[in-house]
Amino acid sequence: MLTHLSIRDIVLIDRLDLAFDRGLAVLTGETGAGKSILLDAFALALGARGDGSLVRQGEAQGQVTAVFQPDDKHPVFAVLVEQAIAHEGEIILRRVQMADGKTRALVNDQPVSVQTLRAIGSSLVEIHGQHDDRALADPASHRAILDSFAGNEKELAALRKAHLHWSEARDTLRDHQTRLEAARKEADFLRHACDELSALGPEEGEETKLADRRQAMMAAEKASGEIREALDTVGGSSSPIPTLLSVQRRLERRGTENDALLGPAIRALSTALDALEETRSALEAAERAADFDPRELERAEERLFALRAASRKYHVPVDQLSALAERYAADVEALDQSETSLVKLEAALKEAEDRYIAAAQTLSKKRAKAAVELEKAVMAELPPLKLERAKFIVALERDENARGPDGFDHIEFWVETNPGSRPGPMMKVASGGELSRFMLALKVSLADRGSAPTLVFDEIDT
């Protein structure tokens, strides 16, 4: 609960300290007395958006401090532990607003982000403005209110998970049925294409490899004649090597008698012979490299032609033929195993649907029980609000064909404002003032069922 509220230099407020006890506290005053300023200041301490214009004129900064003493088991303490904020059972929220627009947030005198302050503040306080009863116009909010009252969070999470699985199973089955139907219409084409591509056996990147190999073989074919001619000149029957070797031997015999004269020539001739031998070896290696089976070139050209013909036939690049073959094979397999796959998917959908129905039925039973309890709780709060002759009814309609993530139930709050009058939807039957009081009764009834421990109502009677 809120125990203290301290305001310094906010708008027209110089200094204000308020202490609160448990139970109801009412702040009254004429229009313009400053009630809204006090509420804006309180909201600032809870993490509302700051504004430099809130600072009292002539001051550098304003400050709002709110002190709370929640129950020991309140979930806000888990947030404090997560944020490593020390506490001794008391929670102090402080907001410092500078005139230049900057702001500081503190929890138990420890600096925190505004987001953290807002998260802590929202778990401690609920503020309801004078037009918040408009939420009661939406029956979807009625279902959420009933679930909050019943503590259906766990069951609702299980239901939504089951609904997601059911939706996924349904979509998977529909996709399979659509694909299967298309496959059946093209069964003959698929089987022929699958057989043809399987026999062809295309591989990704094969076209590039074949084209490169074909180009290399064609280039080698052109160069092989010149290589053989050069090899014949260097090392064949017309090679000068035997003649040069004979000359080398004769010069070497004479060189022993006159090395100074013939030595340089002998050495130059030896170098030339070595170069010719190296050239012959290089040409022989080139001849071996250029040597290929002409049938290999023919096979490469035939393979390229077959791949490119298939590419044109199936309207895909050559590199995508292998992926197309896999897809067609999968389609044929799906067609061959259609009944088995269909039965399995239908069984999976039925299982997911059964789980969803079971979860929805469990939640529906809890809602039906909670509806009676909520009616009693709200009815108990109506006499002090001058609605002792009114009735509050939770109209729960179950439609098992409406299988949404929130279950089968359509929930709407009905009221009977006077004995003998016909009950009807709250927004149609109740007046504006009655709506405000019904909302107050609902909030009081929910106070022990997950609502924040401090409730603030702004002009609840209007």
Could you give the CA distance from residue 68 to residue 336 in angstroms, rounded to a whole number? Answer: 70
3-state secondary structure of 23: coil
Tell me, yes or no, whether 435 lies in a domain.
Answer: no
Q: Are 367 and 396 in contact (CB under 8 A)?
A: yes
Give the phi and the psi of residue 183 in degrees, each rounded to 5: -65, -40
The pLDDT of residue 165:
96
The mean-pLDDT minimum among 29-33, 59-63, 94-98, 269-273 falls in 29-33
Tell me, yes or no, whether 9 lies in a domain.
Answer: yes
Could you give the CA distance from residue 371 to residue 278 in angstroms, rounded to a whole number? Answer: 103
What confidence category does residue 432 fall into, taking pLDDT thresholds of 50, 70 and 90? confident
Q: Are 137 and 127 in contact (CB under 8 A)?
A: no
Alpha-carbon distances, residue 345 vs 180, 332, 337, 339, 355 (angstroms): 13, 18, 12, 10, 15
298 or 5, higher pLDDT: 5
Tell me, yes or no, whether 122 lies in a domain.
Answer: yes
229 or 12, higher pLDDT: 12
The pLDDT of residue 229:
67
DSSP state of 240: S
| Mean pLDDT computed over every residue of the chain | 83
Query: Which tokens hold the place of 48?
Result: 């509302």
Task: Indicate which CATH number applies to the domain containing 66.
Answer: 3.40.50.300
pTM over 0.75? The answer is no
Tell me, yes or no, whether 43 lies in a domain.
Answer: yes
Give the phi and the psi of residue 83 in degrees, each rounded to 5: -90, 5
The pLDDT of residue 221:
65
Q: Which domain holds residue 76?
A: 1-128
Quickly list H helices, 186-293: 187-200, 206-235, 241-255, 259-290
Our CA angle for 122, 1, 15, nearest 5°, is 85
Could you give the CA distance from residue 322 to residue 23 in angstroms, rounded to a whole number? Answer: 77
Alpha-carbon distances, residue 152 vs 159, 202, 375, 379 (angstroms): 10, 58, 17, 22
Diameter over CA atoms, the chain: 150
What's the total number of domains in the chain? Answer: 1
pLDDT digits (tens, 9 = 90+) for 55-70: 999 999 999 999 998 8
Tell me, yes or no, whether 452 lies in a domain.
Answer: no
DSSP-assigned letters across all residues of 140-196: HHHHHHHHHHHT-HHHHHHHHHHHHHHHHHHHHHHHHHHHHHHHHHTHHHHHHHHHH
Could you give the CA distance from residue 120 to residue 353 in angstroms, rounded to a whole number? Answer: 39
The pLDDT of residue 111:
92
Residue of 129, 26, 124 lying closest to 79 (CA atoms): 124
Q: What is the CA radius of gyration of the chain?
A: 46
pLDDT digits (tens, 9 = 90+) for 183-197: 777 788 888 988 898
Tell me, yes or no, whether 41 lies in a domain.
Answer: yes
156 exposure class (CB count in 10 Å sphere: 0-12, 13-18, 19+): buried
3-state secondary structure of 199: helix
Average pLDDT for 330-340: 79
Tell me, yes or no, whether 367 lies in a domain.
Answer: no
Average pLDDT for 330-347: 83
Residue 130 identity: Q
Question: Would the pLDDT of 330 be above 60?
Answer: yes
The pLDDT of residue 97:
93
The mean-pLDDT minimum among 67-71, 102-106, 257-261, 372-376 falls in 257-261
What confidence category does residue 166 fall into, taking pLDDT thresholds of 50, 70 and 90? very high
Tell me, yes or no, whether 40 lies in a domain.
Answer: yes
